[in-house]
Chains A and B, each alone.
Chain A
Amino acid sequence: MPTDTLSATLSALADPTRRGILARLASGDATVSELAEPYDMSLAAVSKHLKVLEHAGLVSRSRESQWRPCHLEAKPLKAATQWLEDYRKFWDRNFDSLAAYLKTMDGDHGRPAKKGRSR
């Protein structure tokens, strides 16, 4: 996933209203007015949030129906959360590995005899 796409995803997710919209769409497609219901804001304001989500590829809208229901596109979300999860996993594995290696250092301090100290 290119960094700019991920950046767009993260920016889109940074707003609580937009997260609320995505949460609503997670349980099924909805029209703009349905999405606007829980919020004390105009349809235009909600549409603006939807535009951001559409631009980030998180939401798509049907061209066919008159009501143009909004649909959650999960792929970019998955990529954003996956990156963080991969990062955490990498470091967790790395720390485990260091902990295991430290145990093997007992005795000879793990240093090959041929190498001099570097500090």
Chain B
Amino acid sequence: MNTQTEIPKSEPLIIMRRTYDAPRAKVWEASTEPHHVKRWWGGPGFTNPVCEMDVRPGGLWHHVMRFPDGHELVMDFVFIEVEPPARLIWQNIDHGRRKGPPPTCKITSTLDEDGGKTHTTMIAEFCSFADRDYALGMGFTGPIAASNDRLVEYLKTL
């Protein structure tokens, strides 16, 4: 995996870092223009029948992703901060419809240029639990990160 993932114990975040072999203006363009996003979002085998992005603070991102098996996932976001080509913050809006796993409600994506390459940092902030559950919930990553933990070994056998 080329993505570095960090799961801080003290904060309800997942941090992912990735370096692209492209200048950041290009990474920004590929990430914020719907006709580009439609072509890569989801990965191989996925298609994106709908991608409407109004890239400005308060603008909506309405997206439908189709899985390789044909089922579709509707994703609705709102852009919070838009600072091309350095920083993009967006947030889930679920209109109270969401069931299932916890959403990350806010994602901050930062782009740093480094000699024609772009280092990106994506910070996903969880918001689906009550404040109390934030800290508690992420506490469970402790044993998962510890490779010598018996519980972790056990989980692998499941």
Please report A residues at the B interface, Cβ cutoff 8 Å: 1-3, 6-7, 9-11, 13-16, 19, 22-23, 26-27, 74, 77-78, 80-81, 83-84, 86-88, 91-103, 105, 109-112, 115, 118-119
Q: Which residues of A contact B44 (CB under 8 A)?
A: 93, 97
Q: Say whether A6 contacts B101, CB under 8 Å.
A: yes
Q: Which residues of B contact A10 (CB under 8 A)?
A: 129, 133, 136-140
Q: Which residues of A contact B129 (CB under 8 A)?
A: 7, 10
Chain A residue at smallest Cβ distance from B5: A88
Q: Say whether A101 contacts B136, CB under 8 Å.
A: no
Measured as residues with beta carbon below 8 angstroms from the partner, the interface class of chain B is: 35 or more
Q: Say whether A2 contacts B16, CB under 8 Å.
A: no
Known interface pairs A11-B137, A102-B22; A119-B43 also in contact (CB < 8 Å): no
Known interface pairs A6-B102, A95-B3, A101-B40; A118-B33 also in contact (CB < 8 Å): yes
Chain A residue at smallest Cβ distance from B155: A81
Q: How far is the CB of A118 from chain B (nearest CB, A)?
A: 6
A101 to B153, CA, bound (A): 37
Known interface pairs A11-B137, A23-B150, A102-B26; A3-B43 also in contact (CB < 8 Å): no
Taking CB atoms and an 8 Å cut-off, the chain B residues in 80-136 that contact chain A are: 84, 98-102, 104, 122, 124, 128-129, 133, 135-136
Q: Which residues of A contact B1 (CB under 8 A)?
A: 92
> Which of B42, B43, B151 is the one whose CB lies under 8 Å from A26?
B151
Q: Say whether A96 contacts B43, CB under 8 Å.
A: yes
B contact patch SS: mixed
Q: How far is the CB of B95 from chain A (nearest CB, A)?
A: 15
Q: How far is the CB of B64 from chain A (nearest CB, A)?
A: 15
Q: Say whether B26 contacts A105, CB under 8 Å.
A: yes
In this assembly, does B58 line the interface, its C-beta being within 8 Å of a C-beta of chain A?
Answer: no
> Which of A19, A83, A100, A103 is the one whose CB lies under 8 Å from B101?
A83
Q: How far is the CB of B80 from chain A (nearest CB, A)?
A: 17
Q: Say whether B40 contacts A98, CB under 8 Å.
A: yes
Q: Which residues of B contact A91 (CB under 8 A)?
A: 3, 16, 122
Q: Which residues of B contact A13 (CB under 8 A)?
A: 139-140, 143
Q: Which residues of B contact A1 (CB under 8 A)?
A: 100-101
A64 to B74, CA, bound (A): 48
A118 to B34, CA, bound (A): 9
Chain A residue at smallest Cβ distance from B132: A11
A75 to B80, CA, bound (A): 37
